[in-house]
Amino acid sequence: MVDALTEATGAPPLLVANAPDAASWRPGLVVHRDVVEGQGALGGILTAVETVGRSDGQTVATVKGVICVAWDMPFVPAGLLKELAGMLDSADAAVPESDGPRGLEPLCAAYGPACGPAIRAALARGDQRAIGFHRDIRLARLERARVLQYGPPDVLFFNVNTPEDLLQAEQLCRVPGSSR
């Protein structure tokens, strides 16, 4: 995932994490704690969006926004990330369609500056869902048919959350024709 983000943006990614040992997860990455703690994934997206506006030169910024990918998604390719970033020309956020429960994968998406105030408004309403602010922005969806050109969504957006998931991810790495 770090390699895909670096290839897509030309710079090493920013790591948003609150864990005390986050700096040791991948040495060399700049780590930022959530700007509003305790808000789950949406707090991480907010941090990435708001950190892009800073001038410290240490963010994974596109010209128009930021690409956010969950730390535990090892199969997202750089081409998909570049395409999502390009969609910010005409939208505040670009999210790929998936086979997940929401029909979208908000933890692999591109977010522009207008998302910051919309996310803060969602949090003020008590809505911590990663899609809780979508109704307040111009949202572009990367159609599932287009996503399939990069690989099956269940592989592209596979999360490694358990030891069993890690075993499955390792098996996917060995399968001919998989996304890696």
Task: Supply the CATH number for residue 92's domain.
Answer: 3.90.550.10
Q: What is the pLDDT of residues 135-153, one digit of tens each?
A: 999 999 999 999 999 999 9
Amino acid at 64: K
Return the beta strands (E) in 97-178 as ranges: 108-111, 139-142
Give the model's pLDDT for residue 177.
55
> Number of folded domains in the chain?
1
Distance, C-alpha 20 to centroid of its chain: 21
Q: Do the domain assignments include residue 140?
A: yes
Q: Do the domain assignments include residue 179?
A: no
Amino acid at 28: G
Q: Do the domain assignments include residue 180?
A: no
Beta bridge partners of 96: 142
DSSP class of 155:
H
Range of the domain at 98: 2-174
Could you tell me the two tokens for 103? 């029909």
139-142 vs 14-16, strand pairing mode: unpaired
CA gap 4, 10 in Å, rounded: 10
Q: How far is CA 106 from CA 41, 48, 131, 161, 174, in A?
A: 9, 13, 7, 17, 27
Give the model's pLDDT for residue 58.
43
Which H or E run contains 169?
helix 163-174
Q: Do the domain assignments include residue 65?
A: yes
Q: What share of the chain is helix, strand, coil (3-state, %, to 5)?
A: 40, 15, 50
Give the model's pLDDT for residue 175.
57
List, for the chain, all residue ranges whose pLDDT scores fall below the cut of 70. Answer: 53-63, 175-180
Q: Do the domain assignments include residue 10?
A: yes
CA gap 41, 173 in Å, rounded: 26
Q: What is the pLDDT of residues 37-70, one digit of tens each?
A: 899 999 999 999 998 755 444 444 444 899 999 9
Q: Do the domain assignments include residue 130?
A: yes
Q: Do the domain assignments include residue 83?
A: yes
Q: Do the domain assignments include residue 114?
A: yes
Q: Return the biggest CA–CA distance within the chain.
A: 47
Give the model's pLDDT for residue 71.
86
Could you tell me the two tokens for 44? 């991480």
